[in-house]
Amino acid sequence: MIDHFGINCADLDAAKRFYDQTLAVMGHRRVMDFGVAIGYGTEEPDFWISGGEAAAGPNREVHIAFRAADAATVRAWHAKAVELGAETLHEPRLWPEYHPGYYGAFVRDPDGNNVEAVCHSASEGD
């Protein structure tokens, strides 16, 4: 996971459904919930989604990369995201242009953000 990052969500309920389920694939969960702001992580909140006034204006796309344990988890995350209606930006695959072992998948979340699951130790056989 990352050391915390937050985004504003136009539809907080849709965002909660999406992140509750896709992050659970990688062992993360809600660790704090203030109603209009929810923090996800394993023990402390690393990633936040928020609604309310801060999300009322135009929402700019952000890129978020979540760390996965292995290539199989990246594929499971991608499958769950697509099942929930996410648009695939890039199917799960090795990205040797980033570095050897970089295996990632990219989708658009319910607010149009570019969200990735990545592991850094994959091989050709994964």
Q: Look at residue 51 in the predicted model and tell me its pLDDT.
A: 84
Domain extent listing, the chain: 5-119
Q: Look at residue 74 in the predicted model and tell me its pLDDT.
A: 97
- Convert 57-80 to b/e letters by CB count within 10 Å (16 or more is b): eeeeeeeeebbbeebebbbbbbeb
Mean pLDDT of 121-125: 87
pLDDT tens-digit profile of 55-105? 566 666 788 999 999 999 999 999 999 999 999 999 999 999 989 999 999
Taking the model in full, what pTM does it have?
A: 0.79
Q: Is 101 left (phi over 0), alpha (psi -120 to 50) or beta?
A: left
The domain defined by 5-119 folds into 2,3-Dihydroxybiphenyl 1,2-Dioxygenase; domain 1 (3.10.180)
Q: Look at residue 125 in the predicted model and tell me its pLDDT.
A: 82
115 neighbors 109 (Cβ within 8 angstroms): yes
pLDDT tens-digit profile of 20-67? 999 999 999 999 999 988 999 998 889 999 886 655 666 667 889 999
